[in-house]
Structure 1
Amino acid sequence: MAAELLEVIMPPVFAAVGAYGQKVLSTAEDEAAGATVRLGQQLLSRLRRTRSRTDTDTSGLDAAVVDVAANPDDADFQGALRAQVKKALAGDDPELTRDLLALFDRAGISVSASGRGAVAVRQNDGIVSTGEGATNTINRK
């Protein structure tokens, strides 16, 4: 479930960082913020609380947010932030998973994936392939 959750978490997290920059780490919810941005803020806040509670340093997550805020279109920095979120999800903490799914539920977003090769996707700009040995090609013009 952590891999599927990661795929759904990253778009709102990137939206929040894009809208608020590094202030997303401390800015209170803003009523004027869009639903996706607000969800991204809440997700980051919950991930940071988990890392703090388990005595795991949140500075890597915070630094990755600052880097993406300063370089919003840089895929390398986005990948580093994704890796930090992945680390936060790696513990398979049922409370964290429940809390994150509850945030999506309150935002009106349903997340579900089950069984071998199942994929939960909210937005996709490319190929989702779960077949073994599949060859995929995207031709964009």
Structure 2
Amino acid sequence: MKNNKTPKTILIAEDEAINRMYLAEILKDKKYRILEAEDGDQAVELCRNHPEIDLVLMDVKMPGLNGYRAAEQIRTFRPDLIMILQTAFISDKSELEGPEDLFQDVIEKPIKENRLFEMLNSYLMS
């Protein structure tokens, strides 16, 4: 019998190692499967090669492709992937640049655990 409780997979796209480690640690505690990207180019490749990714936490400022450019590329082959922009520069989805449907949501840095888990629960409920 197949287990329907397969852990959800989250990609953390974040160039700051300490932020990646913090997010990975708190998400692993909640039994999510975690993949990590250090820049936008890596995030695009991981999304291309890992169809099991359910959600991306995308940093806005990264070397190479920034969060917006990476999301645009990912949308070309994963149009329904849930992507949440993480940034210290805006606090509301209405302030996002670019196409309205590029990101489902935005979470403000520093990321508060309770807000993150509320958001993940709303997008990843199965």
Task: Please tell me the TM-score bracket, short chain as reference.
Answer: under 0.3
Higher relative contact order (CA 8 A, sep 6+): 1
Q: With structure 1 as the length reference, what TM-score do the two structures score?
A: 0.26
Q: With structure 2 as the length reference, what TM-score do the two structures score?
A: 0.28
Q: Which has the larger radius of gyration?
A: 1
> Greater helix share, 1 or 2?
1
> Greater strand share, 1 or 2?
2
